[in-house]
């Protein structure tokens, strides 16, 4: 009489007899929140900087469109910082929003020089 041991299942496969309990880890949620906010802020800030750089490539006599693009860049920068704050459920009324204006202001200085 031979006894057969149950076949050992590879570790990367799920065992229906022993399901893994779901992980409800608050630190994982915190890491996900930080990753999402960093990605959102940096992506939107890249857009704002790109718009400000794009204003430098307009004609020399196109002052109005240069100013307009830099105002849009500043608005996108403020929105990017605001989205980062919203992801963390923080208040929007903060001096950090002034950091979002930087791409527009720097672009304006470079475009009008």
Q: Is the pLDDT of residue 50 over 70?
A: yes
Return all residues near 28 (Cβ < 8 A) that are at least 6 apart: none
Q: Is the pTM of this model over 0.85?
A: no
Place 48 in a pLDDT band, splitting at 50, 70 and 90.
Answer: very high
Considering the domain boundaries, does residue 32 fall inside one? no
The pLDDT, as a whole number, for residue 20 is: 77
Considering the domain boundaries, does residue 50 fall inside one? yes
Considering the domain boundaries, does residue 91 fall inside one? yes
Could you tell me if 52 and 102 are in contact, meaning their C-beta atoms sit under 8 angstroms apart?
no
Considering the domain boundaries, does residue 19 fall inside one? no
Give how many domains the chain has, as a whole number.
1
Q: Provide the 3-class DSSP secondary structure of residue 110.
A: helix
Label residues 73-97 b or e (16+ Cβ within 10 Å = b): bbebbbbbbbbbbebeeeeeeeeeb
| Helix residue spans in the chain (DSSP H) | 26-55, 63-87, 102-111
**Cα dihedral: 41, 42, 44, 45 (round 10):** 110
Considering the domain boundaries, does residue 79 fall inside one? yes
Considering the domain boundaries, does residue 96 fall inside one? yes
Q: What is the pLDDT averaged over residues 18-29?
A: 74
The pLDDT, as a whole number, for residue 64 is: 95
Q: What is the pLDDT averaged over residues 60-78?
A: 95
Between 3 and 113, the higher pLDDT residue: 113
Place 102 in a pLDDT band, splitting at 50, 70 and 90.
Answer: very high
Range of the domain at 72: 40-111
Considering the domain boundaries, does residue 64 fall inside one? yes
Q: Is the pLDDT of residue 92 over 70?
A: yes
Considering the domain boundaries, does residue 90 fall inside one? yes
Closest to 53 measured CA to CA, from 110, 112, 113: 110
- The neighbour count for residue 45, using CB atoms within 10 Å, is 21
- d(Cα 80, Cα 43) in Å, to the nearest integer? 8
């Amino acid at each position: 009489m031979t006894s057969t041991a149950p076949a050992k299942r590879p570790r990367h496969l799920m065992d229906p007899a022993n399901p893994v309990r779901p992980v409800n880890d608050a630190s994982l949620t915190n890491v996900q929140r930080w990753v999402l906010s960093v990605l959102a802020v940096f992506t939107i800030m890249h857009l704002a900087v790109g718009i400000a750089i794009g204003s430098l490539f307009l004609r020399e006599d196109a002052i109005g469109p240069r100013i307009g693009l830099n105002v849009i860049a500043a608005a996108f920068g403020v929105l990017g910082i605001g989205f980062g704050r919203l992801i963390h459920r923080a208040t929007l009324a903060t001096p950090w929003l002034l950091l979002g204006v930087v791409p527009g202001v720097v672009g304006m200085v470079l475009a009008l020089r």
